[in-house]
Amino acid sequence: MTIEEFQNKFGIIGRSKEIRDLVDISMQVAKSEVSVLIYGESGVGKEIFANAIHGYSNRAEKPLVSVNCGAIPEGILESELFGHRKGAFTSAVENRKGYFEIADGGTLFLDEIAEMPLTTQVKLLRVLETQQFMRLGAETVTKVSVRIIAATNKDLQTEVAAKRFREDLYFRLKAVTLNLPPLRSRKADIEILANNFLRNYTEVNKTGVFIIDKDAFHLLKEYHWPGNIRELKNVVETAAALSRSSILDASAFESIITFNFPEEENRNLPIYLKKTAEEVDRELLYRALFEIKKDLVELKDLVYNSRREVFSNGFPSPEQVVPLNELAKEAIKNAIYAAKGNKRAAAKLLQISERTLYRKIKEYGL
């Protein structure tokens, strides 16, 4: 099976070198029995790679059981993993298999492994070493054959140093490590990912075909994507759902994604306000109006500075007076040309925010 065939079969989208290298490693380790540790921020596709490794392994005919260690309360995680006998605790009204038994012969995917309590880590390590365990309340040992794939968005070495994760378990899990890059580090894949999500959206919702234009793709590639691929999928689907046109331009995405510039980094942090809902709404409205005023002031300053020489030799004649919008339009065109089409660089040259630039581009039909 080629890399392309592997990607198509298991839904791994991307043509960047980073993704192709990860696919190549995944294909190599899939046929072995070694544990795999997958690193990556939330939303980068850790579970997709886990599914691919299992699906290409010799255990593919057996189940892949996924467990989110951070979503199960500490008090019942051990019971969920190893099962229990009837009467082991108050609510244990019948015998119950745990995830290890359910995954017997297959693969157990432990997502958010860093959230696992230290007491459970000890028992997990023993199972990994012996492939056997005891259900809660049981007196006999249960043997299983399970391959482990673990994933985390935390640095486990840091967790080990902070005594929040066992070092021996860490070394047992990291036989092979995959580091999935965040979307902002593989922007070459944004276009193919977005088009794929858009195609799936139209198929599921039985809508017409949507097309994302060049400026919109430029905007998407300039965005930081803290939520990674999952966020991109949601943004594309939301833009399609709200659009009245089959062409998704930059304006279709501007209201969905927010660029946080350094000076505004902490402006939108949630805090408790001793205000009524009406007062908060009024304040938000005032802030929006202030932003609009700020944009106008920026453009006026820009026009004044760019045309200051016109007035340096006395009063201009009526023929020399150029409408304000024409000056702004010309300045924006010159900045985009000077920045070779890079909107962020053009915004910096104009000393305005990128959001203002996109709004003006749409307003002037550039």
Instruction: Check residue 52 and give its pLDDT.
Output: 96
- Is pLDDT above 60 for 48? yes
Instruction: Check residue 275 and give its pLDDT.
Output: 53
DSSP notation for 152-206: ESS-HHHHHHTTSS-HHHHHHHTTEEEEPPPGGG-GGGHHHHHHHHHHHHHHHHT
Alpha helices in 31-151 (DSSP H): 46-55, 74-82, 99-102, 118-130
Average pLDDT (257-284) is 54
- Is pLDDT above 90 for 292? no
Instruction: Check residue 262 and give its pLDDT.
Output: 43
Per residue in 327-344, pLDDT tens?
A: 788 888 888 878 777 888
- Is pLDDT above 90 for 303? no
Mean pLDDT for all residues in the chain: 83
Confirm whether pTM is higher than 0.75: no
Residue ranges of E strands in the chain:
36-39, 64-68, 107-111, 132-133, 142-143, 147-152, 176-179, 211-212, 247-248
| pLDDT top residue among 357 and 283 | 357
| pLDDT top residue among 78 and 297 | 78
Instruction: Check residue 278 and give its pLDDT.
Output: 61
| pLDDT top residue among 310 and 156 | 156
CA angle at residue 102 from 70 to 165, to 5 degrees?
A: 30
Closest C-alpha to 360, from 292, 290, 260, 263: 292
Instruction: Check residue 43 and give its pLDDT.
Output: 92
Set out the domains of the chain in order of their start, with CATH numbers.
3-181 (3.40.50.300), 184-257 (1.10.8.60), 277-364 (1.10.10)
Give the model's confidence band at 322: pLDDT under 50 very low, under 70 low, under 90 confident, else very high: low
Distance from C-alpha of 303 to C-alpha of 352, rounded to nearest angstrom: 12
- Is pLDDT above 80 for 74? no
Average pLDDT (111-137) is 89
